[in-house]
Structure formats: C-alpha cells, structure tokens
C-alpha cells in the first residue's frame, strides 16, 4: 500500500497544521499580545532610525527619500515569509545537537516540509502590515501608476525577493549539520538583511560583488524593486531574478537535505 | 521471506571519527587534519524477526542498539550488509518504509507539543492517509485497551511523563504499521504506569499482530512482553534465543536471601555447580544468627547482568 503525496497533499496538510497552531496560539492570549506589541515596537524603532537618517541625507546616489522608503517597505514585505513560515530554522541547531531532530525522519513526508511546518510565527504579520503601509505611502508620493500589470509585477518580484532571503536562511541553518557553532552563521546572515534596505549601488566594488553573487542580499529588495521603480532601464539581473530566486531556493533546499543525509544522528 | 517483518544480514556500521589533539595547537591541527579513525558500532549482525513477534533488543549502554534501530528505520545507511523491513530496503525507500513502521523514543515526544492529543491524531491520520473507518476502529480499540478520556483533549505539553509516553505509543500504532520500534518506553515511569504501558503494548500486539522491537534496560518489560531476546554487546550479537533457554543456561544459579540478626537482608548469587548452598549458610551462621532464609531462581535481571559482564561466553 503505497501513497503518492503531491502538492495538493502538502498544501492541505500545511493548512491543517497552521489552523491548529493558530488556535493554540490564540489561546495563549497574553503571549500573543506581548509578542505582537514587541514586533510593532521593533519595526517602529527601525523606522524611526531610518527617518532620522534620511531626513538628514535627502538623496543617496540619486535615490531620494521616497524611493528609499519604497525600498524599505519592499524589503519588509519580502522578509515576511521567512519570518512567518521558516522561523523553525532558528531551532534547527538545538534539535540537531540534542538529537531530537531524528523525530522528523520517521514520518512518510518530506523532512524539510515536516520540520518547517511545525512553526508558524504570527509576529511576522505585524511586519507585513508595516511594510505594506510604507509601500503604499511611498508609492503615492513617488506617483507610480496603478495597473493590473504593475501589481502583478510587484507580487512576482516580492515573491522573488523573499525566495532569496528564505534560501539564505535555509543555507545558514543547514550549516549546523556540519559545524558545531553554527549559531553565529545564522545571526550574521540575519544581520545582513539590514543591508537589503539600501540600494546596492551605494556599495562599491568588492562589496557590490559580494552582496550580488556571494551573499545575494541585493536581491532581497534592490534588484527586484528596480523593475517597479525604474521600468525604463531595468538591469538584466533584475529581469533574471525570479529564475535565480527559484534556483537559489532549490539549491538551499538541496543543501539542507544533504545535511540531513550526512548527519550521523549520534547521541541516543 | 514473506513471513519475516524484518531481515538483517551481516549488517555493519562504521563511523569515522576525527582523532582530536589536545591543547590550542592541537585544535588548530584538527582544523586541517584528515586523521580519522574508524569505529565499528555494529559488526556483522544478522537477525530475522517474524510477523507478530515481540523481541527484546538488549545490550549495555553504547552497545550499538540505537545505531541498529536507526538503520532499521532508514535514518542511517548501513556500511555493509542487507536490511529488509517488510521486504524493502529502509534507507533507499525512507518514506515508504515510514508508512509501515511506528517509532517511540521513551524520552522524546514526537507529537505536536501544543496540540491536544486528538488533534495530533487527526494530523497523523492525514499524514499516513489512514482511511476514516480504519481510524475510527483504531480509536475504538484504544478505548477498549486504555482509558484515554483523561488525555484525549489535553495538550501534550500539559501531560505527565506517563501520559505522554502512553500518547506516543498510541500515536505510533495509529496507522497500523507492520513494525513498531519502542526505545525504552517505560523509562522514568512509576510502577503502575509501567504496568499500564506493558499491557497496552501486549494488547495492541495481540489485536493487530504488530511486530514489536523493544529496547530497554528494564527487565520487567522483558519479562512482561518478550519471549525472545537478542543481546548485542560492543556491536556484536552475543545472544539470540528464548528467555527460558537463557535461564536454563544459568539453571545452576540461585539467589540466596538471608535475614540476619539485625533484620537486614543479605543476598548473594550462587552457582550450585561450584558452591554448596548449605556450606554458605553454615559459614554465615558461625558469624551471626540467621533468622530467615529464602532461595530464588535466577531472575532475568541477573541473567542479563551476567551476560553483560561476559559470563555467557
């Protein structure tokens, strides 16, 4: 008796796990409220820093205040999926050290899916709301048009941008299968995301190369958002970014799964 | 082949471990070192387990029990040799293999921590694609074997260790697997809970003809559940037969309990082939007064201890 588990199976299963998870989260009301407030405060403080900075430097490399704001909002929205859906990556190394990780290998479902599906982080939703607000506000001030095509483009390239961030975090988390102190790898990756809200054009030479090809932070907002902001001369990298995003995500997934295979599950 | 749930043939598992050096200089050396040594955790183990059998898989700590279980469940690939679980190679068909096995680790719950048990059951039903009627039958069976009312709506995180273990065992049998692996299922539990768990395992094995592979250090589990035991030590199988056979092997051993003048009990294991029990008693009587004497056959616990200590060879 063998079962085929396809996309429909996984979608349905994820939805069910999510519903159950949300139900229990709501039941811990204080916890829910405090974490939501915490997330709003975090975003607010980031936003205020940003405002102070750009009130004083009205343009950076030809990027004015509202364009910078757009980029900021874009990065916030693009960072939401990694926060909401892939947060369990942060727990991976603890599970791997303690040996608890083995439990994810006993179910007839994809190990990556099973592991990731366990945690849905509601806090990311506050960030999403904040990001959308910022996007809309800057959108109006820049005077960007509103059409079906441009919204579709926006969605496609937001997804692209989030794929890059998810892939980065997957890869960073998976290092724990090989190295003991992989915590700092994740922390560094997570810090790098702060660079995402600046136009990659401000970085010079070597940094630009690094943030484009080595640790592709520039794809988390800069390249994809150019498609909306500067539709007349979109660089090739921006156009290619959806394909690159999918490819990068796939590679990070493969790397993660390779880690599972390599890992010898020592310790009882 | 068909009536075996599990077949292992000459299975070996080696681990490569880096030879570590001492001190700071040593640590830096280790960074570039390719100096590995090979440790064989499991050596040439062969084993056939029939459907419906419960076997006790025993061995001292570090004997290679967990490594074997991990190979049987498809998590680790054997270095050499062959394993067939339900006729399939577990490592090559991990997801298929998982459909037909259930796993319980005594100290680690595999359920969703914050969900009530019944919701975990429903998710597992979806994951294993258990047909609705089979699922309902299983729940009915559970109700007939244990009182699940107090735990069914309780989130796993609020359960006592005993309730959690019980839940994990129920969850492992839910999709009616051909084999269930139980790793120290009664560890840390009180006597009455141990009893409950044992009768549950026995009941499920009887009703569903499930093969059970049980690793434990608790000989009470073995006495209650297993007819056959397999013992491994230092990665090698050293015993594979009925418990009764093993006891008769040590048939000449008796445990002598004596109550002394100060009302304390003194116990000793005596091999009648070598020592005469009467001699022992008389010698003791010269030292102190003996108020009471009890003579027992060797217990499973003591047999296993003797084997671990290397007396079986």
Average pLDDT over residues B126-134: 94
Q: Describe the strand order of the beta sheet including B253-260 as a list of residue ranges.
A: B265-271, B253-260, B290-297
**Average pLDDT of every residue of chain A:** 87
What is the number of structural domains in chain B? 2
Percent of chain A with pLDDT over 90: 37
Evaluate if residue A267 carries a pLDDT over 70: no
Element (H, E) at B299: none
Same-domain check for residues B283 and B164: no
Residue B298: DSSP 8-state: P
> Any idea which residue has 């048939």 for tokens?
B251
Kindly state the average pLDDT of the residues B13-38: 77
Taking CB atoms and an 8 Å limit, are A20 and B129 in contact across chains? no
Q: How far is CA A247 from CA A64, A154, B126, B192, B230, in A?
A: 33, 20, 31, 56, 49
Across the interface, do A107 and B96 touch by the CB < 8 Å criterion? no
Give chain A positions within 8 Å (CB) of B114: 21, 24
Going by C-alpha positions, the residue among B99, B102, B101 that lies closest to residue B128 is B99
> What's the CATH number where B87 sits?
3.40.50.300
Instruction: Establish if B59 belongs to a structural domain.
Output: yes
Specify the higher pLDDT residue, B275 or B124: B124
Torsion of CA B204, B208, B212, B216, to 10 degrees: 0
In 3D, which of B139, B145, B99, B132 has the Cα closest to residue B118?
Answer: B139
Same domain, B185 and B139: yes
Is B48:B57 a contact under the CB 8 Å cutoff? no
Which among B244, B250, B249, B251 is positioned nearest to B228, based on CA atoms? B244
In which residue are the tokens 């059409």 written? A147
Rg (CA), chain A: 20
Contact B95 A5 (CB under 8 A): yes
- Asked whether the predicted pLDDT for residue A215 surpasses 90, the reply is no
Please answer yes or no on whether B155 and A24 come within 8 Å at the CB atom: yes
CA atoms within 13 A on the CB side of B73: 27
Are B203 and B291 part of one and the same domain? no
Q: Is residue B310 part of a domain?
A: no
Q: Token digits for B58?
A: 């025993």
ipTM of the complex: 0.83
Distance, CA of A52 to CA of A62 (rounded, Å): 18
Most confident of A48-57, A110-119, B289-298: A110-119
Residues of B with CB under 8 A from a CB of A: 15, 66, 70, 73-76, 94-96, 98-99, 101, 103, 105, 108, 110, 112, 114-115, 119, 122-123, 126-129, 155
Residue recorded with tokens 């070192």: B33
Are B96 and A21 a contacting pair at CB < 8 A?
Answer: no
pLDDT for position B1: 47
B74 shares a domain with B201: yes
3-state secondary structure of B38: strand
Backbone angles phi, psi at A263, to 5 degrees: -60, 135
Asked if B104 and B68 sit in the same domain, the reply is yes
pLDDT of residue B170: 94
Show the domain range for B47.
4-247
How many C-beta atoms surround the C-beta of residue B159 within 10 A? 19
Chain A residues with CB under 8 Å of B108 CB are 99-100, 103
Is there a single domain that holds both residue B195 and residue B272? Answer: no
Q: Yes or no: say if B308 and B233 are a contact pair by the CB < 8 Å rule.
A: yes
Q: What average pLDDT does the segment A145-161 reach?
A: 92
Q: Taking residues B270-294, report their average pLDDT.
A: 84
Round to whole Å and give the CA distance between B18 and B35. Answer: 6
**Residues in a beta bridge with B239:** B231
Q: Kindly report, residue by residue over A160-203, the tens digit of the pLDDT.
A: 999 999 999 999 999 999 887 788 888 888 888 888 888 877 77
As a whole number of Å, the end-to-end CA separation of chain B is 31
Please indicate, yes or no, whether residues B236 and B261 belong to a single structural domain of this protein. Answer: no
Task: Please indicate whether, in this complex, the C-beta atoms of A3 and B129 are within 8 angstroms of each other.
Answer: yes
Q: Give how far A120 is from chain B: nearest CA, Å.
A: 13
| Pairwise CB contact (< 8 Å): A21 & B75 | no
Where is pLDDT greater, at B251 or B88? B88
Least confident of A74-88, A143-157, B143-157, B292-306: B292-306
Chain B nearest-CA residue for A105: B75
d(CA A160, CA A220): 8
Decide if B208 is inside a domain.
yes
For residue B250, the number of C-alpha atoms closer than 13 Å in the C-beta half-sphere is 24
Mean pLDDT of chain B: 87
Q: Bigger pLDDT: B22 or B270?
A: B270
* Residue B312 covered by a domain: no
Q: Quick check: A13 and B126 CB within 8 A?
A: yes
Identify whether residues B191 and B262 lie together within a single domain: no
pLDDT at B302: 77
CB contact under 8 Å between B112 and A3, yes or no, is no
Q: How, if at all, do strands B54-58 and B4-18 pair? A: unpaired
Final residue of a structural domain among B207, B225, B247:
B247
Question: Is B128–A118 a contact, with Cβ atoms under 8 angstroms apart?
Answer: no
Q: Which of residues 2 through 21 in chain A touch B, CB cutoff 8 A?
A: 2-3, 5, 12-13, 16-17, 20-21
pLDDT band, residue A137 (cuts 50/70/90): very high
Using the predicted structure, report yes or no on whether residue A2 has a pLDDT greater than 70: no
When scoring A14, A102, A180 by the number of chain B Cβ atoms within 10 A, the one with the most, hence best to mutate, is A102
HSE of B310 in the Cβ direction (CA atoms, 13 Å)? 1
Half-sphere exposure of A192 (CA within 13 A, CB side): 24
Q: Are residues B43 and B122 in the same domain?
A: yes
* Residue A54 pLDDT > 80: no
B179/chain A closest Cα distance in angstroms: 13
Looking only at the bridges linking them, the beta strands covering B80-85 and B101-105 are: unpaired
**Other residues' Cβ atoms within 10 Å of the Cβ of residue B9:** 15
Q: Name the minimum distance, in Å, from the CA of A10 to any CA of chain B.
A: 9
Phi-psi region of B256 (alpha: psi -120 to 50; beta: other; left: phi over 0): beta
Inform me whether the C-beta atom of residue A181 falls under 8 Å from chain B C-beta atoms. no
B307 is a domain residue: no
Chain A window 20-79: which residues touch B at a Cβ cutoff of 8 Å? 20-21, 24
Whole-angstrom CA distances from A252 to A5, A157, A166, A219, A258 are 22, 19, 9, 15, 10
DSSP state of B187: T
pLDDT (0 to 100) of residue B2: 57
- Residue B211 confidence (pLDDT): 94
Q: Which residue has the higher pLDDT, A171 or A33?
A: A171
Number of helices (H) and strands (E) in chain A: give both, helices first: 11, 2
* Rounded Cα gap, residues A108 and B129, in angstroms: 10
Closest Cβ opposite residue B123 in set A17, A106, A268: A17
Domain identity same for B19 and B76: yes
Contact B70 A102 (CB under 8 A): yes
**CA trace torsion B269, B274, B277, B283 (10° rounding):** -100
Residues B136, B19 share a domain: yes
- The angle subtended at Cα B26 by Cα B21 and Cα B32, nearest 5°, is 95
pTM as predicted: 0.85
**Lowest mean pLDDT segment, chosen from A14-18, A114-118, A204-208, B288-292:** A204-208
Instruction: Tabulate helix, strand, coil % of chain B (nearest 5).
Output: 40, 30, 30
Note whether residue B305 is domain-resident: no
DSSP assigned state of A226: H
Query: Chain A closest CA to B262's CA: distance in Å?
Result: 44
DSSP A173: H
User: Could you tell me the two tokens for B143?
Assistant: 């109700």
- pLDDT bracket for residue A268 (50, 70, 90): very low
B266 & B141 share domain: no
- Cβ atoms B9, B27 nearer than 8 A: no
Q: What is the pLDDT of residue B78?
A: 92
Handedness of CA A54, A59, A63, A67 (dihedral sign): positive
Asked if A108 and B128 come within 8 Å (Cβ–Cβ), the reply is: yes
**Torsional sign, CA B222, B223, B224, B228:** positive
Domain assignment present for B262: yes
> By 3-state DSSP, what share of chain A in percent is helix, strand and coil, each rounded to 5?
80, 0, 20
Residue A110 in this model has a pLDDT that exceeds 90: yes
With cut-offs at 50, 70 and 90, classify the pLDDT of residue B313.
very low
Confidence category of residue A41, pLDDT binned at 50, 70, 90: confident
Is the pLDDT reported for residue A265 higher than 50?
A: yes
Task: Answer yes or no: is B13 within a domain.
Answer: yes
């Amino acid at each position: 008796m063998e079962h085929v588990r396809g996309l429909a199976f996984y979608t349905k299963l994820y939805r069910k796990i999510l519903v159950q998870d949300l139900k229990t989260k709501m039941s811990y009301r204080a916890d829910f409220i405090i974490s939501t407030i915490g997330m709003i405060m975090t975003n607010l403080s980031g936003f205020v820093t940003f405002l102070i900075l750009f009130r004083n430097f009205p343009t950076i490399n030809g990027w004015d205040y509202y364009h910078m704001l757009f980029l900021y909002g874009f990065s916030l929205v693009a960072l939401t999926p990694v926060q909401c859906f892939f947060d369990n990556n942060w727990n991976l190394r603890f599970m791997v050290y303690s040996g608890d990780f083995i439990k994810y290998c006993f179910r007839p479902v994809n190990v990556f899916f099973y592991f990731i599906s366990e945690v849905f982080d509601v806090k990311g939703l506050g960030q999403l709301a904040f990001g959308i607000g910022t996007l809309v506000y800057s959108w109006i001030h820049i005077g960007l048009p509103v059409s079906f095509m441009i919204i579709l483009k926006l969605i496609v390239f937001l997804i692209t941008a989030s794929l890059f961030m998810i892939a980065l975090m997957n890869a960073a988390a998976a290092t724990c299968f090989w190295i003991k102190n992989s915590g700092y790898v994740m922390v560094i990756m997570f810090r790098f995301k702060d660079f995402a809200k600046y136009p990659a054009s401000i970085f010079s030479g070597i940094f630009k190369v690094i943030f484009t090809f080595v640790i592709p932070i520039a794809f988390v907002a800069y390249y994809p958002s150019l498609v909306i902001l500067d539709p007349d001369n979109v660089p090739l990298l921006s156009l290619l970014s959806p394909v690159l995003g999918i490819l990068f995500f796939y590679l990070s997934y493969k790397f993660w799964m390779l880690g599972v295979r390599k890992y010898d599950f020592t310790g009882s | 082949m068909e009536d075996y749930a599990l077949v292992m043939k000459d299975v070996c598992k080696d681990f490569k471990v880096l030879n570590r050096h001492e001190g700071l200089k040593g640590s830096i050396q280790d960074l570039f070192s390719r100096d590995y040594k090979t440790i064989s955790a499991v050596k040439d183990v062969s084993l056939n387990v029939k459907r419906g059998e419960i076997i006790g898989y025993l061995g001292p700590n570090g004997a290679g029990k967990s490594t074997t279980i991990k190979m049987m469940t498809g998590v680790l690939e054997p270095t050499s040799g062959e394993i067939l679980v339900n006729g399939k190679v577990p490592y090559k068909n991990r997801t298929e293999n998982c459909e037909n096995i259930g796993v319980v680790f005594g100290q680690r719950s595999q359920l969703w921590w914050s969900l009530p048990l019944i919701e975990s059951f429903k998710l597992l039903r979806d994951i294993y694609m258990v047909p609705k009627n089979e699922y309902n039958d299983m729940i009915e069976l559970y109700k007939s074997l244990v009182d699940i009312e107090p735990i069914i709506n309780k989130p796993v995180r609020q359960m006592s260790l005993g309730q959690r273990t019980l839940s994990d065992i129920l969850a492992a049998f839910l999709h009616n697997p051909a084999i269930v692996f139980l790793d120290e299922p009664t560890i840390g539990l009180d006597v009455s809970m141990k009893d409950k768990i044992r009768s549950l395992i026995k009941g499920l094995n009887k009703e569903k003809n499930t093969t059970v592979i049980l690793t434990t250090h608790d000989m009470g589990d073995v006495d209650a559940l297993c007819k056959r035991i397999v013992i491994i030590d230092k990665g090698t199988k050293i015993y594979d037969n009925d418990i009764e056979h093993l006891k008769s092997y040590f048939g000449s051993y008796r445990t002598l309990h004596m109550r002394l003048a100060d009302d304390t009990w003194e116990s000793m294991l005596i091999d009648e082939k070598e020592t005469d029990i009467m001699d022992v008693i008389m010698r003791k009587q010269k030292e102190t007064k003996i108020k009471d004497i009890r003579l027992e056959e060797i217990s499973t616990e003591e047999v296993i201890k003797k084997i671990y200590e290397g007396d079986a060879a």
